Amino acid sequence: MKAGAARDPLTIAATAIAFVTLFAATFPLFVTTITAFNATNETVFPPNGWSLRWFWNIVAQPELVEAAAFSLVLAVISSAISISLGVVSAVALTRKKFPGRDLIDAFLMSPLLVPQVILGLSFLVFFVRIGSKQPFLNLLLLHVVLTFPYALRVIRSSLIRMNPKLEEAAVGLGASSLKSFFLVTFPQMRPSLFVAIFFCFVVSFDNFTASAFLTVSGATLPVQIYFNIESSLDPTISAISALLIVSSAFFVIVADRVVGVEKIV
């Protein structure tokens, strides 16, 4: 069927539109990467000669390196918290029936409905009012709120698809319910955990809009890059961007190999 449908003119036209559009959408990523190799301090494409100096220049800008380390730590810790919360909440929401379950689910997913600027402003106002002066902890709380709904959604949908009879069968065969969770349910959750980690990490590491409200100092990497772009356009930005583009493409390709790309879109 698919083979037959693929050859009809309509699908061919749609595929052509897809290729052209996606070429246009990914072309800037390509250009960015190439401009990182400029020989002069003009960020132009095609480059005026080739060099690697802008990559070395990243290290010469301590605020970029610090921001990268900060974002990495933030993403790892917030993802770890969100995933743990996500597993526990998903199990509670899926395995037990109780009144108001859908309401609680909607409640827990509600951060996704709120635009990022408003999320950012909310936390700014909130922290100002309670007088919190802990930039890292403030950002951590924000990022857990940002990433938790993704963790919950991914893990919960995998639990819903799972056959609850399997865990029952394990209990029927003499396993305790905790044991049957770890021996039967948990192994089946692994692909979804992978997807959840991927999502949480990317959502946290990539977040600009909400985070920008909380980082007057101690910037995350996207915020730092934004400020650098606003102040000057030298190819160092292209160099750090190129590293980010290559590594996120790498992680998407790894995810495609591990769970299939259709699971992460």
Partner 1 sequence: MKQAGIEIEKITVRYGNSVPVRALSLDVKPGEFVSLLGPSGCGKTTTLRSIAGFSDIAEGDIRIGGVSVRDVPANKRNIGMVYQDYALFPHMSVEKNIGFGLRMRNVSADEIRQRAFAAAEQLRLSGFLDRYPQQLSGGQQQRVALARALVVRPDVLLLDEPMAALDKQLRSDMQFELKDLQKSVGITTVFVTHDQEEALSLSDRIAVMHDGKILQIDKPDTLYQFPATRFVAEFVGTANLFKAKVSNVGGKSRIELDGLNVSIQLDRELKAGEVEVMLRPEQIEFGNEASVSLPVRVQSTVFVGVATRYQVTTASRQVVRVDVSGVQSVRPATGEQATISWRLSDMRIYRDGRLEP
Partner 2 sequence: MKAKLGVLLLLLPALGLIAGFLIALTSVLVMSVMDSSGALSLESYRSFLGDERNLTILLQSIWIALYVTVICLLLGYPIAIAMSRSSRTVASLITLALAIQFFSIYVVKMYGWMLILGNNGVINRMLLGSGIVSAPVKLMYNELGVAIGLTAAALPLMVFPINAVLQTISLRYEEAALGLGAGRLRALLSITLPLSVPGILSGVILTFVFCFAAYLTPGLLGGGFFKMIGNVIYEQAVARFNYSFAAAAAVITLLISLIAIVGVNKASQVLAGGRQ
Task: Kindly compute the dihedral angle of the four CA atoms of residues 133, 136, 137, 138, in this order, to the nearest 10 degrees.
Answer: 70
**Does 10 contact partner 1 by CB under 8 A?**
no
Q: Report in angstroms how near the CB of residue 52 gets to partner 2 at its nearest.
A: 19
Query: 40 touches which of partner 1, partner 2, none (CB within 5 to 8 A by kind)?
Result: none
Q: Report in angstroms how near the CB of residue 15 gets to partner 1 at its nearest.
A: 19
Which residue of 181, 194, 208, 234 would you call a contact of partner 2, by CB under 8 A? 208
Give the span between the Cα atoms of 104 and 94, in whole angstroms.
12
Region 230-259 residues binding partner 2, contact defined as CB under 8 A? 230, 233, 237-238, 241, 244-245, 248-249, 251-253, 256
Region 159-198 residues binding partner 2, contact defined as CB under 8 A? none
Give the span between the Cα atoms of 91 and 83, in whole angstroms.
12
**Does 9 contact partner 1 by CB under 8 A?**
no
SS3 sequence of 40-102: CCCCCCCCCCECCHHHHHHHCCHHHHHHHHHHHHHHHHHHHHHHHHHHHHHHHHHHCCCCCHH
**Does 113 contact partner 1 by CB under 8 A?**
no
Query: Residue 216, Cβ neighbours under 10 Å: how many?
Result: 10
**Does 114 contact partner 2 by CB under 8 A?**
yes
Q: Report in angstroms how near the CB of residue 208 gets to partner 1 at its nearest.
A: 40
**Does 22 contact partner 2 by CB under 8 A?**
yes
Name the burial class of residue 85, with classes exposed (0-12), middle (13-18) and buried (19+) by CB atoms within 10 angstroms of its CB.
Answer: middle
- Per-residue interface string for the shown chain with partner 1, residues 66-105, x marking contact by CB under 8 A: ----------------------------------------
